[in-house]
């Protein structure tokens, strides 16, 4: 492996970004890191010694070109998770296209891209478990899933014939002290509790009074943001073969287990009801963006991660229960709940 890598990271301030910067900063293989995102960020506040940060938008091709100039490896994390579809599409698709094309134009050796389990699509006939050979059939009605599937096809076309290798990671739901997507989705199901902070102390003060979370009983996986970061680091350093990799920690959970961990109640959601409910919600204008994530609990999306273990030597340090506990602890410390 070559020493002294220069690494450019788009979207380093999100759920996975800070953990990835820390992993890269600690690697003796990495000499320099350039981060770019839209929000302000001070690397010194996170004790990052190798990171230079610049504010920029992936929709600005000139800014992307400047960020990836001279990079040996580009790590693309910039993506909108919650947002209106018409607002998310330009950043998720066109912004990613800019990054992919700029990476090839810069002559980078590797592009490391975080896709998602959602790229497989949420379909009743998906094989279980999902492997990297499973066809990508993004769910059209769920923009996040559709964008992730579209982008993997786009990436393959842009890199065809170039000297840039691609490592594509498909993590399950990412969680941990600094990643609250799962919790934000749960809060969206509880509009009074989730959107009116003044109501929350009432639940805390009255015994046996707690939010009630509907549970369709579908098993799901979690992966800790630090474990995702170790996989991205392995790819950055050129370990294993280029290609697609599933990422999920050991163990599975249900929404009822999430509710218990939060001190909430849960109620079974009758089988077959979630699909029609999800379809109705997607047709109603103005609903919270987080509610689109109901789709993620409509069918099991359990992945086999043997390829990452064999090729990259990836060994997650956190199982699903550990990751859930860390997410709740971090959310409470940050006053999310």
> What are the sequence ranges of the domains in the chain?
5-176+222-248+301-317
User: For the residues 119-129, what does the mean pLDDT come to?
Assistant: 95
User: For the residues 49-65, what does the mean pLDDT come to?
Assistant: 97
Closest-CA residue to 100 (of 65, 72, 125):
65
Mapped onto helix, strand or coil, the DSSP state of residue 41 is coil
- Over the chain, what is the mean pLDDT? 89
What span, in angstroms and rounded, lies between the C-alpha atoms of 188 and 198? 16
Q: Phi and psi for 242 in degrees, rounded to 5?
A: -60, 160
User: For the residues 138-157, what does the mean pLDDT come to?
Assistant: 94
What pLDDT does 131 receive? 98
> Does residue 271 have a pLDDT over 70?
no
> Does residue 193 have a pLDDT over 50?
no
The structure tokens listed for 125 are 């006939």
Across 72-86, 177-191, 233-247, 312-326, least confident range: 177-191
Sorting pLDDT into bands at 50, 70 and 90, what band is 296?
A: confident
The fourth-level CATH superfamily of domain 5-176+222-248+301-317 is NAD(P)-binding Rossmann-like Domain (3.40.50.720)
Across 35-39, 214-218, 295-299, least confident range: 295-299
Contact (Cβ atoms closer than 8 angstroms) between residue 173 and residue 320: no
Sorting pLDDT into bands at 50, 70 and 90, what band is 126?
A: very high
What pLDDT does 6 receive? 98
> Does residue 199 have a pLDDT over 60?
no
Q: What percent of the chain has pLDDT over 70?
A: 86
> Does residue 284 have a pLDDT over 80?
no
Q: How far apart are the first and last CA of the chain?
A: 44
Closest-CA residue to 112 (of 220, 195, 20):
20
Sorting pLDDT into bands at 50, 70 and 90, what band is 197?
A: very low
Of 86 and 6, the structure prediction assigns the larger pLDDT to: 6
Residue whose pair of structure tokens reads 């492997």 in the numeric block: 131
Task: Say what the pTM is.
Answer: 0.91
User: For the residues 129-145, what does the mean pLDDT come to?
Assistant: 93
Of 210 and 28, the structure prediction assigns the larger pLDDT to: 28
The residues pairing with 110 across neighbouring beta strands, listed in sequence order, are: 73, 165
* Distance set, CA 152 to CA 117, 148, 278 (Å): 12, 7, 25
User: For the residues 101-129, what does the mean pLDDT come to?
Assistant: 97
What pLDDT does 329 receive? 97
Closest-CA residue to 245 (of 71, 113, 68):
113
> Does residue 198 have a pLDDT over 60?
no
What pLDDT does 2 receive? 46
* CA diameter of the chain: 64
User: For the residues 242-269, what does the mean pLDDT come to?
Assistant: 94
Sorting pLDDT into bands at 50, 70 and 90, what band is 274?
A: low
User: For the residues 326-335, what does the mean pLDDT come to?
Assistant: 94
What pLDDT does 295 receive? 77
Of 35 and 1, the structure prediction assigns the larger pLDDT to: 35
């Amino acid at each position: 492996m070559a020493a002294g890598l220069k690494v450019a990271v788009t979207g380093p301030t999100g759920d996975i970004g800070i953990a990835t910067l820390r992993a890269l900063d600690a690697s003796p293989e990495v000499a320099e890191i350039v981060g770019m995102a839209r929000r302000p960020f001070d690397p010194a506040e996170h004790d990052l010694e190798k990171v230079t940060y610049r504010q920029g938008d992936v929709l600005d091709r000139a800014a992307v070109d400047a960020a990836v100039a001279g990079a040996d490896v580009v790590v693309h994390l910039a993506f909108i998770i919650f947002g209106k579809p018409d607002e998310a599409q330009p950043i998720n698709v066109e912004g990613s296209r800019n990054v992919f094309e700029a990476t090839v134009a810069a002559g980078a050796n590797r592009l490391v891209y975080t896709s998602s389990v959602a790229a497989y699509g949420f379909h009743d006939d998906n094989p279980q478990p999902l492997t990297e050979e499973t066809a990508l059939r993004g769910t059209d009605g769920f923009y996040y899933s559709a964008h992730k599937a579209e982008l993997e096809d786009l990436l393959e076309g842009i890199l065809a014939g170039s000297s840039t290798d691609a490592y594509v990671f498909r993590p399950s739901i990412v969680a941990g002290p600094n990643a609250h997507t799962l919790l934000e989705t749960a809060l969206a199901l509880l509009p009074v509790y989730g959107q009116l902070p003044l109501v929350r102390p009432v639940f805390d003060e009255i015994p046996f009074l707690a939010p009630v979370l509907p549970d369709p009983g579908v098993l799901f996986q979690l992966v800790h943001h630090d474990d995702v970061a170790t996989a991205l680091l392995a790819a950055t350093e050129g370990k294993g073969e280029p290609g697609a990799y599933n990422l999920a920690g050991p163990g599975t959970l249900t929404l009822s287990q999430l509710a218990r961990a939060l001190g909430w109640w849960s109620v079974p959601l009758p089988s077959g009801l979630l699909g029609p409910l999800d379809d109705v919600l997607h047709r109603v204008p103005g609903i919270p963006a987080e509610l689109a994530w109901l789709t993620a609990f409509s069918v099991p999306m359990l992945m086999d991660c043997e390829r990452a273990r064999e090729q990259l030597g990836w060994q997650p340090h956190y199982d699903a229960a550990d990751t859930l506990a860390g997410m709740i602890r971090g959310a409470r410390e940050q006053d999310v709940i």
